[in-house]
Structure 1
């Protein structure tokens, strides 16, 4: 799995951070998404997929390998 984020699309809702905190974070100054791990371990994949599904801005893209 590879994860991509489109920061300009992000609306800083923080759902991704709540669901997958090992993969996503938010910038302190504006709350925009920060991708911590673009190739997360298999045990984190379900959380990454859920984060992409619930992202209100569809700013998270998951590429399955």
Structure 2
């Protein structure tokens, strides 16, 4: 990590309601941001889904 780079790590939880059933998804995300410009720019992104049972296809907007 240098003066123009910031590394972020955070945990998250989201819920999706479909067919009167609520699914819970959780995980961890890792980001590397370039903050040298006027706005931060995502240089790297990694998402780890920790939910052990997935009933159907996950929409990318849920992660």
The structure with the largest helix share of the pair is 1
The structure with the largest strand share of the pair is 2
Q: Fold-level match, TM-score > 0.5?
A: no
TM-score, normalised to structure 1's length? Answer: 0.25
TM-score, normalised to structure 2's length? Answer: 0.26
Bigger Rg, which one = 2
Higher-RCO chain (CA-CA 8 Å, sequence separation at least 6): 1
